[in-house]
Amino acid sequence: MRFLVILSALVALCAGHAIPTIPGDNSHYVEGESRYVWIPDGEGVPRLVDLEEPADESFSDARNGANNEYWLFTRRNPNNHQLLRINDNDSVRNSNYNRDRPLTVVVHGWNGNGTSARLAVDALLHEGDNNVISLDWSIVASGPYTNVVRNVPSVGQHLGNFVQWLINNHGGNWNNVHLIGASLGAHVIGNAGRTVRGRIARISGLDPAGPQWSDSSNALNRNDAVYVECIHTDGGLLGIFDPIGDANFYPNGGTNRQPGCSLSNCSHVRAYELFAASVIYNNFIGRRCADLNEARNNNCTGANFLMGNTDFSKRGSGLYGLSTGSEWPF
C-alpha cells in the first residue's frame, strides 16, 4: 500500500512537470504544483510558460516602470493616441486631456501592448466623453513571465506616480478616477492604487493573474482603492479564485470553461470581454452568494448587484454569481 501511495505521488509529480503539447490546454495544471502553463499574450495567442524558470536579474535593471507609455484617447482622437509624458507639461497641454472629465486607465497583461486594450477603449469612449489612457508597458511585459511578475510592482508604482502628477499639475478629481487591469494588469493597477495610498475611486480587476501570485503582498487587494471590484472567469487556473476585492463576481461559476470556450485561455480573457460589454449595455445582474461554494456552483440567490460598468460612485461587497451567454455581448 505504501508503495502505491509513493508511486501515485511520483506520477502526479511527473504529470505536473510534463510539458503540455496542445496550445492553450491547461487541463493538466494544478495550482502550486505544475511547472508549465499556457498563458495568452496580448492577442490571445497561448504561450507556454515555465513557472520555474529562474529570474534574470539584469532584466529588472533594464526594464521597469520608467519605460511606461501613457496613450491618451478621447472622442476628439478615438483612433490615434496622444502620448503623455510624466514631468512633460507640454505633452498634456498640447493634448485633448480635459481636467473636467473623468479619467480611466486601462492596463494590458503579459506580452501585450497599448493596442491590446482596444476593445475596452472603444467601449469607454462609446459610453462617455472621457479621458481614456491605455498604459503601454510592453517593454516590461514582453519578457519571460517570471521576470515580468517581478517587475509588476515597479510598473504600478510609476503608473500611480503618473496619475498623481497629472492630477496635481493639470487638474482632475480623484473621485472620478477608474483603473482597469486585465490579468497581470490587475496587479499593476493594485500597485498603482497602493502608491497613491488608496485615493483611486475605483479599481476593476479582470481575472487577476494567478500563477506566482498566491499569497503575494504585491497582488491586487481590496485596500488598493476606495472600491475594488474583481471579475473571476478562470479562477484557480490562470486567474485567482479567492475574493480579493470588495465585490467579487463569478460569472458561470468563475472557472473554466466559460460558455463558448474550448480552451482555458479563452476563459481567462472572457473577464475582459464581459467588462467591455458591461460598459456599453450594463445588464449583467449578479446575485449575492453565501460562500465560495455557492459561487463556484453558480447557485446564488441573494440580493442583486450589477457587474462591471463605469459608475465611479459604485460601492458594494461580497460574492456574486451570474450566468452569461457564449458570445458577444454575452
- Catalytic residue list: 183, 207, 268
* CA-closest candidate to residue 147, choices 108, 184, 96: 184
- What cell does 223 get? 485596500
- Which amino acid is located at 129 in the chain? D
Local structure of 279: helix, strand or coil: helix
The Cα-based distances of 237 to 200, 207, 211 in angstroms read 29, 10, 8
Contacts with 11 (C-beta within 8 Å, 6 or more apart), sequence order: none
* CA-closest candidate to residue 245, choices 216, 224, 267, 263: 224
Residue 8 backbone phi and psi in degrees, to 5? -60, -40
The Cα-based distances of 97 to 9, 101, 252 in angstroms read 58, 8, 38
What does the alpha-carbon distance between residue 250 and residue 275 come to, in Å, rounded to a whole number?
12
Q: Is the dihedral of CA 134, 140, 142, 148 positive or negative?
A: negative
Q: What angle do CA 223, 242, 134 make, to 5 degrees?
A: 60
Burial (CB count within 10 angstroms: exposed 0-12, middle 13-18, buried 19+), residue 248:
buried
Contacts with 153 (C-beta within 8 Å, 6 or more apart), sequence order: 191, 218
- What cell does 243 get? 475574493
Q: Tell me the Ramachandran region of residue 267: left when phi exceeds 0, alpha when psi lies from -120 to 50, beta otherwise.
A: alpha
Local structure of 7: helix, strand or coil: helix
